[in-house]
Amino acid sequence: PPHIYIGSAGIALLCYHLYCLNPTFTIATIPIATYCLSYLHAALSALPAPPRRSHAPPTHPVYTGFLGSPVGPLALATVVAHKVSNDQNAAKEYLSKILSRYHPSAVNAVGRNSMSSNELLYGRAGYLYALLFVKTHCGGSEVGAMVSDELVRQVFDAILSDGKDYAQIFKTVRALKDEEAPPLMWCWHETEYLGAIHGAAGIVTILLQFRALAEPHLDDLLRVLEFVVGLAFPSGNFPSSMSALERDELVHFCHGAPGVIPALTLAYDLYPSERTRRLLQAAERAAECVWERGLLKKGVGLCHGELDWVVWWESMDTAARCFQVIELFKVESPSIDIPPNRDPGISGNAFAFLALHRSHTLHPDSAASTHQDLGRAQAFASFAMDWKRDTESGDLRLPDNPYSLFEGVGGAVWLWAELWGLSGEGDERGSGVEGGGIGRMMGGFPCFTDLV
């Protein structure tokens, strides 16, 4: 599919990210904006037909997440038309398609189990991110004004409503006391996931970014994160779901510590207090697990995936661009001890360290070392530089989509660009604030905490 997660829209988003870092950036003398428009056109051309309107109740859910549905490419098209092409009419048209075709489905979940429509990848939390993405990049314009507070509130309230309803079911089924049960809980395919991509931590992370709406419910939202922290393994890692409380296995963004850490640090960044400091401390413990076990064999993308060698040569145009970008974002290996006997792994796990780096930078009273956080991220990034050699040798398994944003080298390029920006190369990025007019702190996880 042409979506953000593994499709051409993800490469277009990567190019737009590079454009925001430096609008004059070129690859082989061609402006990065040109590549952005090219990949975006490919994605939009491949989008499926919009959901049909019918008076009959639908039997299958309509996906609305930024990462795993047409909403992502359309939201990106809105922003690119506004900021890159300066075509405000086109921007309004793309956004109108989102609001007319997908907003009703985001508010009124469809299918057999409406409570399965709240997570980040396909559901309401991902749709909220899409609205925030447009609002952030088009703020102060007529395009941004189309994302009204009321539209956002409708989706926010729907997520909370499902969370409260399912929390009662969860409490009863698990036979939990009032003080033991979280006030909010969600399920995905009849499983209570806890991590970033399908679970409670990911949903709460998105909700916390809408501060005016979140503050009246802050106690409930923090109690969900505290519930997840209470399930941590002795290693500092977290179970992927309530069905895996005894299995300390997965250490990647989708399931496990790398996806929960940005949730915990963001709570402290946005709502600093002694209570959220304890969440930050849990994130620091979890980071030790990522450091010891986070260099995996599933490729260098932001998440994970593997298949066979057939797809290796299917995206050589994208590959050529990635090779050229690699030369521009060389990351030096830091003077820091590397965990022994580990194989190169996932760039997404490095963002766990960048999340801590951002928190420790924003709150310099912390006793933790920002140098260590950044050094660990650089160490993971330096391993990722050898992705081609290690894949050919068999040390790395080949992802399903080896050049995509979330499964492939596109995610590594995003990581290298973040480290390049944090290094102070060019403009005023040494402060850790991105250019391009959105004024966000660098180091946020793409499509998750990168708009803060």
Domain range annotation of the chain:
1-46+62-147, 153-288, 295-308+316-424+442-451
Q: In angstroms, how far is CA 175 from the centroid of its own chain?
A: 33
What pLDDT is recorded for position 60?
Answer: 59
Vertex 170, ends 167 and 175: CA angle to 5°? 125
Contact 380, 344 (CB under 8 A): no
The backbone region for 320, taken as left when phi is positive above 0, alpha when psi lies in -120 to 50, beta otherwise, is: alpha
pLDDT score at 50 = 77
Global pTM exceeds 0.85? yes
Residues 85 and 137: their CA atoms lie apart, in Å, by 13
What is residue 384's predicted lDDT score, i.e. its pLDDT?
Answer: 78
Tell me the C-alpha distance between 88 and 234, whole Å.
53
H/E element, 208: helix 200-208
Q: Residue 366 in contact with residue 360, Cβ under 8 Å?
A: yes
Cα angle, residue 287 at apex, residues 282 and 291 outer, rounded to 5°: 160
Cβ–Cβ contacts within 10 Å for residue 395, how many? 13
Regions in the chain scoring below 70 on pLDDT: 51-61, 109-116, 296-299, 304-346, 366-369, 424-440
Binding-site annotation: residue ranges for Zn(2+): 254, 303-304
- Residue 24, classified by CB atoms within 10 Å of its CB into exposed (0-12), middle (13-18) or buried (19+), is exposed
Residue list, annotated binding site: 254, 303-304
State residue 100's pLDDT score.
Answer: 96
Structure tokens at 305: 């995936």
Q: Strand pairing partners for 27?
A: 30
Closest CA to 13 of 39, 42, 51: 39
Residue with tokens 């391009």: 436
- Predicted confidence at residue 53, as pLDDT, reads 59
pLDDT of residue 324: 53
What span, in angstroms and rounded, lies between the C-alpha atoms of 322 and 333?
20
Residue among 388, 387, 442 nearest 415 (CA): 442
pLDDT given at position 325: 53
For residue 110, give the amino acid letter: V
Name, in order, each residue with C-beta under 8 angstroms of 12's C-beta and a sequence gap of 6 or more: 36, 37, 38, 39, 40, 42, 43, 73, 76, 80
